[in-house]
Amino acid sequence: MKEEILINSQTNQKRRKIIKAGLVLPAALSTGVWAPSIASAADEIPIGVVVGLTGAGADFGRDALRAFKLVADRVNRTGGIKSLGGAQIKLLVADHQTDLRVASSETERLITRENVLGILGWAASGPARVGSEVSERYSVPSIDTSVDYKLTERGLKYFYRAAINSKQTCERGIDFLVELEKTAGLQIKRVAILHEDSAFGTGAGDVYKAAIERNSRWQLVDRISYTAAKLTEASGIVNKLKSLNVDVVFQASYPADGILIQRAMKQLRLNLVANVHPAGAPPNIQYVGNLKDDANYVITALGWTPTMADRLPPLPKATVEEYMKINNVAVQDQAGYSLSAAAAMVASLSRITTRDRAALWNSIDKIDINFGQDPNLIIPFGVKWDEKHDNAKAQPVVTQIINQKLAVVSPKELATAQYVVPVPPWTSRN
């Protein structure tokens, strides 16, 4: 496949390579932004990919790119987009560096200079917010995999989200504990909210706060926010939580800061009934990879976890196996969402006969893929947009890290393990 990876380094203006399969193309603007002059070949469909390959969201961006590439490679190996004469998908990939200004400028560059037909991205909520405003201004359809629920509450016409959103995951995590209070005699009195202060964390904090107040069963004793990029140690945060004598912490973190906080919880012996996340850090491979057994018993609500692969139909299961073989890593939730986004983009391309953004948007808007229908779709239960352009078919599950693996603990019909709540105190763990 002809694939072009475009990586911008706007802040330090370092020149980086632009790699094309079998060809290196040197080109740079005086501004330091890479933008080679390449006329789109008649047999290629340029699709922009704007993800974070550096910065705080790099892990999510790399997972997203792996998934996008797998689907595009598969399409190109099997004859391309047949409705467009077998045209090959060409991914033009830009690194937004988890920087809002770069996300905006790189999205605009791919649209105005590379003439992309549509966009897959942004795999981070802050960059998605600004990037989607750019694509909306140019009437370019985009399918995103970021989770901040507010992204689809802006009334955008051309923006769609294939992922589970943070409102779904936050509310599902709280509902799970309420269920356990009723069915298992769980006792919770004092709770706190802890989140990083970008769009993802702030949005999650807002949803948690509203749901806790609506629940009215617990006392919300504090809401603590922090800047993920500036967090170098978390003892101050954890000491504050410990002094508040909290039973549950509802937490929204990225991998690096989530790891720091969990280590401080162990070091300072913050014993909780439960620690609940709306995806974010725990599903990322670095979280368990760094924390090992110290990650055990953390709860997170999300749309996908690798343990769900065993219950997939044969074709989606083969996709998971191919992803693991190519990348030597398991399919995490961001990669699962990105497979859904790429599947929706390919299905939409396959229904148009002209390379026109309006035609692609019209096709995306009407997408309806059933689970098991498309081998690239591994997350139950398909893709179809609701009135806000969220994926109405995607439903979250509750997982818990048990023996260093994210196991589904609710609902029962998808469960692969029994939940462990209350969480064992640190002194009783191995």
Q: What is the DSSP string of 283-351?
A: TSHHHHHHHGGGGTT-EEEES--GGGGGGS-HHHHHHHHHHHHHHSS---HHHHHHHHHHHHHHHHHTT
- pLDDT band at residue 42, thresholds of 50, 70 and 90? low
Return the CATH class of domain 167-302+396-428: alpha beta
Q: What is the pLDDT of residue 79?
A: 94
Rounded to an integer, what is the distance from CA 289 to the centroid of its chain?
A: 18
Strands (E), 72-216: 88-95, 118-122, 142-144, 159-161, 190-196
Q: Which residues pair with 369 in a beta bridge?
A: 383
pLDDT at 37 over 70: no
In angstroms, the CA 87 to CA 89 distance is 7
Q: Find the angle CA(165)-CA(170)-CA(171) to the nearest 5 degrees.
A: 105
CA 194 to the chain's CA centroid: 19
Amino acid at 154: R
In this prediction, residue 430 carries a pLDDT of 67
Residue 47 sits at φ, ψ, to 5 deg, of -120, 125
Mean pLDDT confidence for 334-352: 96
Query: What element of type H or E holds 214?
Result: helix 199-215
Instruction: Locate 296 and state its tokens.
Output: 């055990």
CATH class of 4-164+311-384: alpha beta
| Neighbouring C-beta atoms of residue 77, cutoff 10 Å | 10
Place of tokens 């909780």: 272
Percentage above 90 pLDDT, the chain: 72
Q: How far apart are CA 363 and CA 292, in angstroms?
A: 44
Share of residues in the chain with pLDDT > 70 (%):
90
Q: Are strands 299-302 and 23-24 parallel, antiparallel or unpaired?
A: unpaired
Give the C-alpha separation, 130 to 157, whole Å: 15
pLDDT tens sequence across 209-244: 999 999 878 999 999 999 998 999 999 999 999 999
Closest CA to 259 of 236, 300, 292: 292
Q: Is 78 exposed, middle or buried (0-12, 13-18, 19+ CB in 10 A)?
A: exposed
pTM exceeding 0.85: no
Residue 7: the pLDDT is 37
Q: Where are the domains of the chain?
A: 4-164+311-384, 167-302+396-428
- Tokens coding 380: 């139950």
- Cβ neighbours, 10 Å, residue 408: 22
Query: Looking at residue 311, what is its pLDDT?
Result: 79
The strand pairing partners of 397, in sequence order, are 302
Residue 386, pLDDT above cutoff 60? yes
Instruction: Please report the DSSP string for 16-62 in residue order.
Output: ---EETTEE-----TTS------PPPTTEEEEEEEE-SSSTTHHHHH
CA proximity to 1, closest of 20, 25, 24: 20
pLDDT in tens, 267-277: 999 999 999 99
- Tell how strand 19-20 and strand 23-24 pair up: antiparallel
Q: Count CB-CB contacts under 10 A for residue 227.
A: 12
* 102-110: average pLDDT: 97
Phi, psi of 19 (to 5 degrees): -105, 130
**CA–CA dist 138, 131 (Å, integer):** 11
